[in-house]
Amino acid sequence: MKIAVEGCCHGELDAIYASIQHLERVEGVKVDLLICCGDFQAVRNLDDLECMSVPDKYKELGTFYKYYSGQVHAPIPTLFIGGNHEAANYLWELYYGGYVAPNIYYVGHSGVVKFGDLRVGGLSGIYKYHDYKKGHHERPPYAGHAVKTAYHVREFDVFKLKQVKQELDVFLSHDWPRGIANFGNKQELFRKKKFLKEEVESNTLGSPPAEELLNLLKPRYWFSAHLHVKYAAVVKHTNNQSTKFLALDKCLPHRDFLQVIDVPDKSPEGGFTLDDEWLAILKANHEFHSVTQRPAQLPAYGNHEAVDINPFRNWIAERLNSIGPESRQPPRFSATRAAHDPLTETRRRGRAPDKVDENPQTRALMELLELDMKITAPFDGNPKDSQRFGPFGASLPPPPPPTRHVLVADDNEIEL
Ligand SMILES: [Zn+2]
Ligand SMILES: [Zn+2]
């Protein structure tokens, strides 16, 4: 299997597919799968743009909407994770992953999915200490800080990934695992990005939970983006395993944004399918998922070994068997909002969507797993609703006033 790996996408799908097709012609290869490591910008229309954390002057629609509307078909199966520039409303309705457009699959806020017999895990967003333990409380219209914090990685999503026992071929994180720079040519990195030196030397560059996951899961490959620079490293684990790390740039002319990787022992046959072990993990952990500000009350203070997923593995096996082999097919793509129409849609500044849309794919997955729809649970401060969030719900704060894009310089995120 040949995989094209892309750093940040930043809405440039046309250019990325064109680059791959050019490369296929010149090199005489066929790429089976495109993987994008975040800042994908699955922006369907101008209202979605209002749910994306980007300074107003950089707000651009990009080309994704054409793939969403069906005007253009993605020529290569495409898999992506979220970064810190995304249509937060759209990715939230597909929290567990799914098709954002025909042939374009979102891993989820965290998840494991198969493409042929290639097993890929991923963690969306970027790490920020102050939001790590919180629940997923951000909702459209993402007023104030919520437009930024919606992309901050949550402990709950990492907790689930730590329960993965079966081998992963590839893992994706938008920001780099902390400490990874020490396993490659640092001097070369500092020549290209001088400002990273201090953070690397104080070991504050990158994501601590991603570092934990790298050491625990030991995937064959780990791909990242976010810092807009190419960087390769190899981490040797005990017992002769190693992880090849590669970070890539964003899609711009003359930049290292794309690399084709050959994984000869893997076949693309069968396309995207759901992963049995991950389904068991989703089922086993659903009750701990806080969708309010309240931290997720994880068992044993977040020690992932406290969750025994074995009974859930059996439940999943029986469930999938009873439905048949098609039960591993992800639910089909279906549009939940109108796609942008350049002739009729004009920008409604500050008019972000104000509710979570129920995505039929998420509904179908919850029905498969016999779980309730936490993603669209009402969020109006009614104490009765808190009961629906399980034992950890609490009375909710009133919805914030609809001010938009109060961007705060609270974190040194790399902007566009
Ligand atoms: Zn980024
Ligand atoms: Zn980026």
The tens digit of pLDDT for each residue in 166-222 reads 999 999 999 999 999 999 999 999 999 999 999 999 999 999 999 999 999 999 999
The token duo for 238 is: 């005990």
Band (402; pLDDT cuts 50, 70, 90): very low
On the question of pLDDT at 411 being above 60, the answer is no
Q: How far apart are CA 103 and CA 5, in angstroms?
A: 16
Q: Which two tokens stand for residue 124?
A: 């969306």
- Pair 230, 80: CB distance under 8 Å: no
Closest by CA position to 397, among listed 139, 152, 93: 139
Which among 94, 138, 87, 100 is positioned nearest to 366, based on CA atoms?
A: 94
| Distant-in-sequence, close-in-space partners of 344: CB < 8 Å, separation ≥ 6 | none
pLDDT of residue 345: 83
Tokens of 158: 């990492």
Which residue reads 């044993």 in tokens?
Answer: 300
Total count of residues recorded for the chain = 416
Whether the pLDDT of residue 349 is over 90: the answer is no
* CA angle (311, 387, 382) in 5-degree steps: 150
Position 223 pLDDT exceeds 80: yes
CA of 249 to the centre of ligand 2 (A): 8
How close is the Cα of 329 to the center of ligand 1, in Å?
Answer: 30
| Cα(156)–Cα(131) distance, integer angstroms | 11
Q: Where are the beta strands (DSSP E) in 207-360?
A: 221-224, 231-236, 242-247, 258-262, 272-274
What pLDDT score was predicted for residue 193? 96
> In this model, does residue 1 exceed pLDDT 80?
yes
Q: Where are the alpha helices (DSSP H) in 155-300?
A: 155-162, 186-192, 197-201, 208-217, 276-285
Residue 271 C-alpha to ligand 2 middle, in angstroms?
27
| CB 7 within 8 Å of CB 250 | yes
Q: How confident is the model at residue 381 (pLDDT cuts 50, 70, 90)?
A: very low
Note residues around ion ligand 2 (Cβ under 5 angstroms): 8, 39
- Cα(118) to centroid(ligand 2), Å: 25
DSSP SS3 for 339: coil
Confidence of residue 352 (pLDDT cuts 50, 70, 90): confident
Q: Tokens 């040519």 map to which residue?
A: 185
Instruction: Give the pLDDT of residue 350.
Output: 66
Residues of the chain above pLDDT 70, percent: 90
Rg (CA), the chain: 20
pLDDT in tens, 52-104: 998 888 888 999 999 999 999 999 999 999 999 999 999 999 999 999 999 99
The pLDDT mean for the chain works out to: 90
Which residues, in sequence order, are bridge partners of residue 368? none
Q: How far is the CA of 12 from the centre of ligand 1 (A)?
A: 14
* CA 115 / ligand 2 centre spacing (Å): 25
What was the pLDDT predicted at 261? 96
Residue written as token pair 């629940």 = 135
Q: Which ligand sits closest to the CA of 7?
A: 2
Residues β-bridged to residue 244: 221, 234
- Packing angle of the helix pair 310-323, 276-285 (nearest 10 deg): 120
Q: Which residues pair with 123 in a beta bridge?
A: 110, 173
Distance between CA atoms of 121 and 311, rounded to whole angstroms? 22
In the prediction, which pLDDT does 147 show? 94
Token duo for residue 4: 């094209």
Task: Judge whether 151 and 157 are in contact, CB under 8 Å.
Answer: no
Q: Cα(286) to centroid of ligand 1, in Å? A: 28
Tell me if residue 285 falls in helix, strand or coil.
helix
Contact criterion met (CB below 8 Å) for 299 and 307:
yes
Task: Calculate how far, in angstroms, residue 83's C-alpha sits from the geometric centre of ligand 1.
Answer: 5
Q: Cβ(160)–Cβ(285) under 8 Å? A: yes
Residue 32 pLDDT grade (very low, low, confident, very high; cuts 50, 70, 90): very high
| pLDDT greater than 70 at residue 383 | no
Q: Using alpha carbons, list the distances in angstroms from residue 160 to 156, 210, 240, 318.
A: 6, 13, 26, 22
Amino acid type, 334: S
Q: What are the residues facing 65 on neighbouring strands?
A: none
Considering only residues 298 and 351, tell me which one the structure prediction assigns the higher pLDDT: 298
Q: Give bridge partners of residue 46 from the DSSP assignment.
A: none
- Going from the Cα of 50 to the center of ligand 1, the distance in angstroms, rounded, reads 17
Q: Between these two residues, 394 and 34, which has the higher pLDDT value? A: 34
How much of the chain is in helix, strand and coil states, percent to nearest 5?
30, 15, 55
Residue 152 Cα to ligand 2 middle (Å):
15
Distance (Å) from CA 400 to ligand 1 centroid: 26
Q: Summarize pLDDT for 254-309 with one digit per residue, the tens.
A: 888 999 999 999 999 999 999 999 999 999 999 999 999 898 899 999 999 999 99
The β-bridge relationship of strands 104-106 and 98-101 is: antiparallel
Assess contact for 204 and 234: CB atoms under 8 A. Answer: no
Q: Is the peptide bond before 391 cis (omega within 30 degrees of 0)?
A: no
pLDDT in tens, 122-181: 999 999 999 999 999 999 999 999 999 999 999 999 999 999 999 999 999 999 999 999
How remote is the CA of residue 138 from the centroid of ligand 1, in Å? Answer: 19
d(CA 140, CA 52): 10
Q: Beta 170-173 vs 33-36: how paired, if at all?
A: unpaired
pLDDT of residue 296: 86
SS3 225: coil
Give the per-residue pLDDT at 379. Answer: 61
pLDDT digits 0-9 by tens, 102-118 = 999 999 999 999 999 99
The ligand whose atoms approach the alpha carbon of 8 most closely is 2
